[in-house]
Amino acid sequence: MPPARRSSLRMATQWIGVAPFFIFALMFLILPTLYLVMGAFQNAAGEYTLENIWLLFQDPSIRLSYWVSIKISFWSATIGAFIGLAMSIAIVRGGLPNWVRSTTMTFSGVASNFAGVPLAFAFLATLGRLGLVTVILRDVFGLNIYGMGFNLLTSWGLIAVYLYFQIPLMIVIITPAIDGLKKEWGEAAATLGATTWQYWRMVVIPVLWPSFLGTVILLFANAFGAIATAYAFTGSSLSIVPIKLYAQMRGDVLHNPNLGYALAFGMIVITGIANVFYIWFRVRSERWLK
């Protein structure tokens, strides 16, 4: 068989291997997204309009839902990023036994994907009004945390729930960047007379900063699009965009699919911008860590 023909045949078999991925992406990501975007600019009669997009800016309840979602996503991403960074530095450069790192990484890989109804139930069963910890504090220590004003079903309660998977996700993503810090940099800084603080301030932080910011943005997008955990945890009592979207698409009172498409389109824009910045920061960090 001629070399050119063998090469084209080998190329065809290679494309067959990745064909399921492209088919899956086309059917379940690209086409539904295009359909959603088109629906955001249509009314119930199928006519093109900007009314749905206009409502995103004019409806006070929609503006509030976006603001609450942004606030929850921002704080869960920021707090989770700093705690996860501290834990990653401890297990990589803290001189801890190897089993601590392996155990932490294994748990983080599992916990970063633990969300939805099981996670909401776990927190309610632990810190709900009749949760295990709540009952122990009340009956054993005489502390009624709900009588003192504590309420799990709030924005900060949802942030605490999100931290359960945000912190492990931060550990999984940032640990390779910390591993990329070369020992030669520390030795060179020590040879030149730099203190530990100077080494961290002038070498480590500038190198890790793009990776850190990129991961914070990724955590923000991760929290902004979460619905299963929030809906199972608070029901419709907390006004965030995913729950508002669910009400517009499936609710008996607020049923307006095209406004739901517009809400989803707004979420796509916000998460899309976040992912663009994440990719940009990731490219910058990889140049340092090669």
Stretch 198-222: mean pLDDT: 86
94 vs 102, more confident: 102
216: closest CA among 13, 77, 101, 91? 77
**What integer best gives the mean pLDDT of the chain?**
84
The pTM of this model reads 0.84
The alpha helices in the chain, defined as continuous H runs, are 3-25, 31-40, 51-58, 60-93, 98-111, 117-127, 132-139, 155-179, 183-191, 196-199, 205-224, 228-234, 241-250, 257-289
pLDDT digit string (tens) for 129-182?
888 899 999 888 888 888 888 888 888 889 999 999 999 999 999 998 888 887
End-to-end Cα distance, the chain: 41
Stretch 240-248: mean pLDDT: 82
| Spatial distance between the Cα atoms of 245 and 240, rounded to a whole number of angstroms | 9
Pick the range with the lowest mean pLDDT from 98-102, 173-177, 216-220, 244-248: 244-248
Stretch 56-79: mean pLDDT: 91
Q: Please, which pLDDT band fits residue 3 given cuts at 50, 70 and 90? A: low
What pLDDT score was predicted for residue 208? 86
Q: Please, which pLDDT band fits residue 118 given cuts at 50, 70 and 90? A: confident
pLDDT beyond 90 at 86: yes
| Spatial distance between the Cα atoms of 25 and 20, rounded to a whole number of angstroms | 8
Pick the range with the lowest mean pLDDT from 42-51, 132-141, 171-180, 231-240: 231-240
119: closest CA among 149, 143, 152, 91? 152
Structure tokens at 82: 């700093």
Q: Which CATH class is domain 59-289?
A: mainly alpha
Q: Please, which pLDDT band fits residue 251 given cuts at 50, 70 and 90? A: low
pLDDT digit string (tens) for 10-40?
556 677 777 888 888 888 888 988 998 998 8
Query: Which residue type does 233 have?
Result: F
Distance, C-alpha 103 to centroid of its chain: 22
Cβ neighbours for 224, distance < 8 A, ≥ 6 positions apart: 69, 70, 73, 241, 267, 270, 271, 274
What pLDDT score was predicted for residue 119? 87
R_g of the chain computed on alpha carbons: 24
| Spatial distance between the Cα atoms of 237 and 153, rounded to a whole number of angstroms | 8
Which residues of 25-141 form beta strands (DSSP E)?
Answer: none
